Amino acid sequence: MLAGNEKKYVLDCLDTNWISSRGAYIEKFETAFAKFCGVKHAVSCTNGTTALHLALVALNVGPGDEVIVPTLTFVATANAVRYCGARPVFVDAEPRTWNMDPALVEAKITPRTKGIIVVHLYGHPVDMDRIMEIARRHGLFVLEDAAEAHGAVYKGQVVGSIGDVGTFSFFGNKVLSTGEGGMVVTNDEQLAQTVQVLKEQGMDQNRRYWYPVIGYNYRMTNIAAAIGLAQVEKAQWHIQRRLEIAAWYREQLEPIPGLMMQVEEEWARHVYQFFTVVLGQDIPVSREQIIAHLLEHGIEGRPVVYPMHTLPPYADPALDGEFPVAGMIASRGINLPTWAGLTRADARRVCGALLEAIGTATLFDPPSNSVAIDSTVGTS
């Protein structure tokens, strides 16, 4: 949601002709975002997928390597591993936070394993102490895919700052957005420099048009960075809005038997990129029927993503049955409308329609106007 200086800063770009990937807002946004995450370095790029790709290339992930990845994630996490010629090795979710289960990670480590990507799903932090301990013991890197978790906190530390490197997305439905955009954050100066070089075609920073390595053009524009700066300035407002919306949903949905939600661990600050409900086995209505019912009331409820191990590029029949928790969440989960502009009345309408669909007594106002799932239309 655009609620601050976005327009002012974008107009400044237009008025001064600084619309491409040079300009003052790039560095301002990077500096502000690094401070927001509590890290030394932040390097902007075109989106959350290229942020993952840059980080993995900078960590020397290549053909023959394996990288441990949660199966319950957005497809970009797995694809970025494949872009490097490496193989993602999937791990099931745990039933409380729905994040990758740390207890299942060690069994997936082989001599080829290079690192672990954790995903702070929907904005709930992963139990990082357990992951870091395993990674250190086996000499693996830890990449935090924090695309859904801007400003989420694990035991006092902002996510993205805990592993060796963190990546963010600023797509339209994320906690903070630049339209399209991404960021790589790290305390490792060498890694930050490598990412900087890679995103600029691999050009030697001291010798123009000299390319010692193969790089990419993954540069963010000054206009996107201008929007990003305005978003970071209001980050705490964006997060507070989502916490308020989640509290409304919880107040109305937690008492309903058979509905499951992510548990907020006491060591975590969740930032709710999505508020999601999972239908228990005892709810007699199918997820598809519920989504259709919501839609009749002008409410977009989205199915949770398919787990990676079920998608054609990654499917492996040998692994069938290995991911029961992710399978259950993915097949019975619905993302409810979650964006910073949602009102209490919207939340009541969503809950009213949801409860009507599952056949629970309707204690709520009848749904009326349309409630969009986020500030964009037709997104993944």
Ligand X SMILES: *Cc1c(COP(=O)(O)O)cnc(C)c1O
> What residues make contact with ligand X under the rule CB under 6 A?
47-49, 73-74, 76-77, 119, 145, 147-148, 169, 171, 182
Give φ, ψ of 141 to 5 degrees: -80, 160
Residue 169 vs 335, nearer CB to ligand X: 169
End-to-end CA distance of the chain: 17
Instruction: Look at the block and give the residue holding tokens 């749904």.
Output: 367
Size of the chain in residues: 380
CB of 258 to ligand X, least distance (A): 27
CB of 73 or CB of 360, closer to ligand X: 73
Nearer to ligand X, 286 or 380 (CB): 380
| Residue type at position 237 | W
In angstroms, give the least distance from the CB of 9 to ligand X.
20
Q: Nearer Cβ to ligand X, position 26 or 147?
A: 147
Distance from C-alpha of 176 to C-alpha of 237, rounded to nearest angstrom: 11
Q: What are the phi and psi torsion angles at 153 (to 5°)?
A: -125, 130
* Shortest Å distance, C-beta 287 to ligand X: 20
Contact 13, 222 (CB under 8 A): yes
What is the nearest approach in angstroms of ligand X to the Cβ of residue 169? 3
Task: In angstroms, give the least distance from the CB of 331 to ligand X.
Answer: 19
The C-alpha angle with vertex 87 and arms to 84 and 88, in degrees rounded to 5, equals 110
Query: CB–CB of 64/86 below 8 Å?
Result: yes
Cβ 74 to ligand X, closest distance in Å?
4
Count CB neighbours of 199 within 10 A.
Answer: 28
Task: Provide CB contacts within 8 A for 18, sequence distance 6+.
Answer: 24, 25, 222
Q: In this complex, which beta carbon is closest to ligand X, that of residue 216 or of residue 348?
A: 216
Least CB distance from residue 48 to ligand X, whole Å? 2
Q: Is beta strand 141-145 parallel, antiparallel or unpaired with respect to 165-169?
A: parallel
Query: Which residue number, 182 or 301, has a Cβ lying nearer to ligand X?
Result: 182
**How many whole angstroms from its chain centre is CA 46?**
15
Residue closest to ligand X, measured at CB: 48
- For residues 296 and 114, what is the distance between their CA atoms, to the nearest angstrom? 48
Structure tokens at 45: 């790029």
Instruction: Give the residue with the Cβ less far from ligand X, 21 or 360.
Output: 21
Please name which of 116, 371, 159, 180 lies closest in space to residue 265, comparing C-alpha atoms: 159
